[in-house]
């Protein structure tokens, strides 16, 4: 029985493929909606997968035990509330309070941030705009896991004596010191001179951001010497192994007390970890992907309606053929499966073509735009093919049932 069923499926599949070959252009137009819908869904999934991996790599590069503390939640902030905008900045003293009073915290660093246009760096007539100019304690430099390429990092001694020294990122090295040693050279940033004592290797970028390596770090108090009105501070803390949650609780309790937060009031600061920022990014991207999938589903729906229409035409065109098959012993289930398999083959072919085009598009995006990574995940391929075949099964049901219910006598008389 099973062998006979497999034989019938094979025979109906060959009939379906023969129909596709006979009406190539009509079949192509029929599956165009399914093809575009499948290609779009898989392409979006591929871009999302690539961006997700890029985000994970970038955040893990800063350390999985790191806490990022700011006056509002660090990460992707689409819109700040009025209460968040009015919060007082974190202070250096509050950072030192965390360092002294949190047993689960291994190290604490502070970075000073100036609100305003990006700094301009200069060296021997060369100029680099939109650099990331930051004053940071030596512990902050270590907390964010910088990868030293040459020279050394500045120390607490350099910071205490407010020395005019700098550690520069890979893009700054490439811009100013291609082919020469940067150590010992003097660069100018916003009119202030700094001796380069260390250079950094390139680090993995965040999605859509290629400026991580344009950083220029100077000691925290050196920075404050030139920018005494700089009020904003980012605090970084590294938890002891296995104590990230405990460290977060301790930091929250200490900051609430130091900042005078009332028991009924929310935190006047935000604490994020690499994991929380990654999850936040995934939540936003999931909504984008969901909207795109819903819009792309319209293409699949249009393709399904087209398939149903063509299959109804096919039933009319092949009425006599159906009558002959029934006359020589074909059952209603045989006719039903014949047309269902034809519809599923039609849409499945569209799905396969969509998958291939999506893979090609992903390759082109990855090649031509390295900043926009794209990797086709296996689950998207399986889902795309299953959806395309499912469209054929659903929209091919009515034509298939209609064909199976034809009276063989009437069908044989059909011209």
Q: Tens digits of per-residue pLDDT, 291-349?
A: 877 877 777 787 788 888 887 877 777 777 767 776 776 677 777 777 788 888 888 88
Beta carbons of 344 and 405 less than 8 angstroms apart: no
Residues in Cβ contact with 309 at an 8 Å cutoff, skipping those fewer than 6 apart: none
Q: Between these two residues, 335 and 173, which has the higher pLDDT value?
A: 173
Helices and strands (DSSP H and E) totals, the chain: 15, 11
Torsion of CA 27, 31, 36, 40, to 10 degrees: -140
Domain-wise residue ranges, the chain: 2-57+280-413, 115-229
Work out the average pLDDT over 119-144.
89
Question: Alpha-carbon dihedral of residues 22, 24, 27, 28, nearest 10 degrees?
Answer: 170
pLDDT in tens, 85-109: 788 889 999 999 999 999 999 999 9
Cα–Cα distance for residue pair 354/36, rounded to 1 Å: 6
Please give the residue that has the higher pLDDT: either 303 or 208.
303
pLDDT given for residue 147 in this prediction: 85
DSSP 277-294: HHHHHHHHHHHHHHHHHH
d(CA 100, CA 94): 10
pLDDT at 15 exceeding the cut of 70: no
Q: Sorting pLDDT into bands at 50, 70 and 90, what band is 140?
A: very high
3-class SS of residue 66: strand
Q: What is the distance between the alpha carbons of residues 53 and 59, in angstroms, rounded to a whole number?
A: 10
pLDDT, greater one: 51 or 318: 51
Between residues 214 and 413, the one the model is more confident about: 214
Q: How confident is the model at residue 189 (pLDDT cuts 50, 70, 90)?
A: very high
CB-based contacts of 116: which residues, under 8 Å, 6+ apart? Answer: none
- The pTM for the full model equals 0.71
Q: Which of 65-79, 229-243, 380-394 has the lowest mean pLDDT?
A: 65-79
DSSP string, 236-248: EEEEPTT-HHHHH
192-218 average pLDDT score: 80
- Given this model, what pLDDT does residue 411 score? 53
Q: Which of 7-16, 47-56, 226-235, 313-322 has the lowest mean pLDDT?
A: 7-16
Spatial separation of the C-alpha atoms in residues 173 and 147, rounded to whole Å:
14
Dump pLDDT digits (tens) for 270-282. Answer: 888 888 888 888 8
* Dist. CA 173–CA 164, nearest whole Å: 18
């Amino acid at each position: 029985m099973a062998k006979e069923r497999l034989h019938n499926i094979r025979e109906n599949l060959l009939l379906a493929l023969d129909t596709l070959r006979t009406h190539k252009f009509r079949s192509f137009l029929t599956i165009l909606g399914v093809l575009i819908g499948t290609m779009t869904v898989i392409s979006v999934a591929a871009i999302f997968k690539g961006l997700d991996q890029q985000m994970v790599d970038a955040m893990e590069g800063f350390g999985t035990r790191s806490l990022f503390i700011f006056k509002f939640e660090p990460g992707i902030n689409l819109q700040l509330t009025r209460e968040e905008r009015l919060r007082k900045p974190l202070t250096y003293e509050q950072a030192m309070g965390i360092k002294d009073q949190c047993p689960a915290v291994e190290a604490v660093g502070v970075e000073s941030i100036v609100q305003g246009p990006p700094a301009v760096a200069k060296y021997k007539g060369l100029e680099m705009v939109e650099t990331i100019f930051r004053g940071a304690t030596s512990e902050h430099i270590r907390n964010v896991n910088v990868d030293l390429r040459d020279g050394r990092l500045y120390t607490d001694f350099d910071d205490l004596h407010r020395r005019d020294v700098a550690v520069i990122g890979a893009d700054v090295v490439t811009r100013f010191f291609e082919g020469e040693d940067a150590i010992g050279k003097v660069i100018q940033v916003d009119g202030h001179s700094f001796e380069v004592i260390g250079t950094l290797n390139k680090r993995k970028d965040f999605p859509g951001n290629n400026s991580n390596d344009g950083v220029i770090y100077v000691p925290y108090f050196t920075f404050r010497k030139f920018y005494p009105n700089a009020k904003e501070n980012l605090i970084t803390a590294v938890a002891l192994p296995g104590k990230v949650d405990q460290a977060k609780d301790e930091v929250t309790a200490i900051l609430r007390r130091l900042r005078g937060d009332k028991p009924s009031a929310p935190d006047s600061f935000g604490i994020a970890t690499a994991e929380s920022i990654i999850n936040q990014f995934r939540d936003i991207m999931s909504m984008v992907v969901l909207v795109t999938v819903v819009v792309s589903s319209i293409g699949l729906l249009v393709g399904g309606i087209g398939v149903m229409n063509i299959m109804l035409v096919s039933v009319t065109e092949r009425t006599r053929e159906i009558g002959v098959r029934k006359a020589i012993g074909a059952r209603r289930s045989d006719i039903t499966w014949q047309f269902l398999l034809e519809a599923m083959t039609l849409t499945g072919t569209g799905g396969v073509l969509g998958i291939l085009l999506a893979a090609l598009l992903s390759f082109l995006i990855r090649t031509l735009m390295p900043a926009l990574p794209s990797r086709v995940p296996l689950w998207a391929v399986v889902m795309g093919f299953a959806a395309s075949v499912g469209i054929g099964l659903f929209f091919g049901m009515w034509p298939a049932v209609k064909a199976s219910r034809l009276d063989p006598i009437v069908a044989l008389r059909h011209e």
